[in-house]
Structure 1
């Protein structure tokens, strides 16, 4: 997969080498990790990616990405899909950033790129969830164009759907 480019970010596709370094929390010589990266969620995502590679092969185009800030090349978080689209074209997404860069719109920018990528590769619905108390993540999903899709005692769910390729992009803000 090619990197996904936004105005301020590059989403770098995870590969086996990157995933092994993330899972071990051990950067390679060319890796420029921001303080706090990778977090526990990034390491768990890398381990999940490695299991998928071993079990079913490369999950592209619904893989995982590292989020790199273009201005300084620092890796500041991760984002990606929890697996391939199901038979109805649904896929689930997740993301996370190091604390020092939160609140600057990077997460919504990365999420919009993932939504565009999913749609371009045939997904018709992308969903995500967050803890009820995590209002910042709820704001990220809303800013990326996702809508509330339900909740339970612990989580709030968001989703965005498209009826087909001819549907207007006006309802899907790109922020670029």
Structure 2
């Protein structure tokens, strides 16, 4: 997979070697790491990516990425898909940033890039969820164009559904 570039970020695609290093917390090529990166969520995402590689092969173009800030080359978080689209063209996305990089629009910028990437590669719908208390993540998803679609005791669910947009247009 090719990197995804935005105005302030580069989303660097994981491969097996990079994901193994990330899952174990080891450093490797691709930039300096911000304080707190990778955290438990980043390591879990790398482990999920490795499971997808083992179970079904390379999920490209629906893989995982490290988020690198262009201004200083620091790796500040991770984002990506939980695997390829399901039989209905739905793909799930996740993201996370180190605390020092939050509140600056980076997560929204990264998520918008992932949404554009998913649509360009044929996904019909992108799903995401967040804890009820995580208002920052809720704001990220709505700012990127995702809409609330449901909830349970613990989570709020969001989606962007391009089939629905086509049906109503």
Same fold (TM over 0.5): yes
Give the structure 2 partner of residue 54 of structure 1: 54
The C-alpha deviation readout for 1:92-143, integer Å capped at 9, x for no partner, is: 0000000001000000000000000000010111010000000000000000
Matched length: 167
Partner of 2:156: 156
Q: CA deviation at 1:31?
A: 3.5
Q: Does 1:76 align with 2:76?
A: yes
Asked if residue 20 in structure 1 is aligned to residue 20 in structure 2, the reply is: yes
Q: Which residue does 2:41 correspond to in 1? A: 41
2:6 alignment counterpart: 6
- CA root-mean-square deviation: 1.6
Moved over 2 A (4+): none
Q: Distance between the aligned counterparts of 1:69 and 1:117, measured in 2?
A: 19
Instruction: Note if 1:63 corresponds to 2:63.
Output: yes
CA–CA distance in structure 1, aligned partners of residues 117 and 89 of structure 2: 13
Q: Is the 8 A contact 2:61 2:121 kept in 1?
A: yes
Q: TM-score if structure 1 supplies the norm length?
A: 0.91
Q: Deviations over 1:6-28 (max 9, x none)?
A: 00000000011110111110102
Scaled by the length of structure 2, the TM-score of the pair is 0.95
Which stretch shows the higher mean deviation, 122-131 or 47-56? 47-56
Residue 90 of structure 1 corresponds to which residue in structure 2? 90
Determine if contact 2:148/2:156 at 8 Å carries over to the other structure.
Answer: yes
Aligned mates of 1:126, 1:52 — CA distance in 2: 18
Alignment-derived partner of residue 109 in structure 2? 109
Q: Distance in 2 between matches of 1:29 and 1:75?
A: 11
